[in-house]
A and B are shown apart, each in its own frame.
Chain A
Amino acid sequence: MSIPGKIVPEALKTLGKDNATVSYPKDKRTMPDRFRGAVEFEPEPCTGCGMCERHCAADAIVVEADADGNVTWSYDVAKCMFCGQCEESCPTDAIVMGKEFELAASDKPAFEDSYTFKR
């Protein structure tokens, strides 16, 4: 039987250490370059091909085209799971994963984002 308390030296050393956490929301970490936040969409290059919709497992993106050639691209960040597949599948780089991660809101429309443009 040995004396309990093997980590006493470590514990006393820890007393002098800085906090291990940042005090959010006062301080914030900077996100790494590859961080995948909310999807950012640019209507210019979009061709309305619908590949992003097709490969979105969460059904967060819907692409609709009407008879007059108007394309409506809509995105629901509340459904999105930030996998980044839409960015990868889009042939024209119209979609980029952004850095925004503070996405909480209390009303549903705030999550939805929609663009209508002519193609």
Chain B
Amino acid sequence: MSEKASGTEIPVGPQHPSLKEPANFTLTVDGEVITGAQMKLSYNHRGIEQAVLSKSYIEAIYLLERICGICSHAHTSAFTQGVEELLDLEVPPRARYIRTLIGELERIHSHMLWLGVAGHEIGFDTLWQYAWRDREIVMDLLEEITGNRVHYSINTIGGVREDLTDEHCETILEGMDDLAERIDFYQETVPNEETVRMRCEDVGVVPEDLAREYCAVGAVGRASGVPTDVRKDAPYAAYDDVDFDVITDDRGDLLARTVVRIGEIAQAIRIIRQVAKRIPEGDLKASAKPPQALLAQVPEDDVVSRYEAPRGELIHYVRADGTDTPARVHIRVPTLANWPTVVESLKGSYIADTPIVVAGIDPCISCTSRIGVETDGNHGGENAFDLDELREYGIEWYDDRSDVERPSLDGDERTVSGGTRGDRA
């Protein structure tokens, strides 16, 4: 009794109960099976990159923190690390440890959130409620340490703003004991629950070569056997001082992603325990100067800063022109890197799998909204722009509007020839 007419198109989104953020998937279905998928992004362009240009570096931290309500620390860390590199500041060890601590607490909070969402998407609401209840352990810790559940605002240029007291370290260790117990429970039950297996095993498979070709990042890449992790590849903060494993799995399906993420929570607990036990004494900031004095020293230069956000590699590009406001900030969020794998792995799945396949990369859709990106998985659909077309479009746009001032083309040469564009096989 399945609909035999092939080529029925189902729109999923931009408003759809399974997507809490605006994105659109046009699924071509044959009965219950998806034969083609297209996605449209950027329904919610927020112009945050542009807004940052009118603010000083100090203010930009708090604006960029608000790109995401989950990995806020990731954005501030990536940005401040970049600015510190521009300023040639040496962040003191205690501050680096605190950044690591917050970063890992945030990773736990993000992964627990994902576990709950994944549970909800496959109709396992009890798992959802449990995961979110247990997530409160880290939320409370974060609030206690930083003063806010989500926007910790603990990073500043050259260090951190709040110290860690001995009582904090004790509460953290206690919290980690409670949490470790819960994680054991999830590790034991979730991947072994038969109905979860039925829904996740061999669903949304991204084989290793596809993951490499599409440059999948974070847990998606690691679940496909690509051991990418900025914390190991280019250690920042205190990651070269603490022991942890990069969790990988070679199955590449949703079950693997679940296992990897739960495993990463366990690793995060390990890191947090090390930090709480052996955080070094010392200053919190690289320089005692008031922030405005620091900003006056930013040289004319540019920098690329990488950070392993809970969803994968996050890149901030900052160009400074010698004033106290940045000349350009560009952000490549991890979700953007993972979309192509979603479109690809949707094909051949069942309609019923759409929500969980989409949720499987832990997408942060509004963070991704920058410019129109449309992909059918073949490097761009009919409305896609390549770089030259985009440039042409821009020139035409300004030709039509004589009253709008053209941006200066001075920096052009460097951005184009700068060796940050990887080769694509």
Contacts and interface: CB of A to CB of B under 8 A. Distances in A.
Interface stretch (A4-12, A38-46, A63-71, A107-115): A4-12
Contact of A7 (B59, B66, B156, B189): B189
A62 to B, nearest CB: 15
B59 A32 contact: no
Contact of A85 (B62, B192, B193): B62
A4 B153 contact: no
Interface string B103-133: 0000000000000000000000011001001
Contacts of A85: 58-59, 62, 153
A2 to B, nearest CB: 5
The dominant DSSP class at the B interface is: helix
Contacts of A7: 126-127, 130, 189, 193
B195 A4 contact: yes
Nearest to A84: B153
A55 B194 contact: no
A51 B130 CA distance: 45
Interface stretch (B37-45, B144-152, B209-217, B269-277): B144-152
A57 B62 contact: yes
B64 to A, nearest CB: 10
B144 A34 contact: yes
B66 to A, nearest CB: 7
B149 to A, nearest CB: 10
A81 B136 contact: no
Interface residues of B, number: 36
Interface residues of A, number: 30
A101 to B, nearest CB: 10
B394 interface: no
B415 to A, nearest CB: 26
Contacts of A2: 192, 194
B194 A4 contact: yes
A72 interface: no
B278 interface: no
Nearest to B52: A57
Contacts of B185: 10
B59 A6 contact: no
Contacts of A104: none
B264 to A, nearest CB: 21
Interface in A1-52: 1-7, 10-11, 14, 20, 32, 34-36, 51
B200 to A, nearest CB: 13
Contact of A32 (B136, B147, B290): B147
A42 B143 CA distance: 26
B126 A11 contact: yes
B297 interface: no
Given A20-B136, A35-B147, A88 B161 contact: yes
Interface string B248-270: 00000000000000000000000
Contacts of A6: 188-189, 192-194
Interface in B84-103: none
Contact of A55 (B56, B127, B148, B151): B56
B151 A10 contact: no
B291 interface: yes
A57 B151 contact: no
Interface string B47-70: 000000001101111110110000
A89 interface: yes
A32 B192 CA distance: 38
A81 B59 CA distance: 11
A3 B147 contact: no
B292 to A, nearest CB: 7
Contact of B194 (A3, A10, A57, A83): A3
B178 to A, nearest CB: 13
B193 A4 contact: yes
Contacts of B55: 57
Contacts of B65: 83
Interface of B: 55-56, 58-63, 65-66, 126-127, 130, 133, 136, 143-148, 151, 153, 156, 161-162, 185, 188-189, 192-195, 290-292
Q: Name the 8 nearest CB pairs between A and B, nearest first.
A: A57-B59, A34-B147, A4-B194, A6-B193, A83-B62, A6-B189, A57-B62, A36-B147
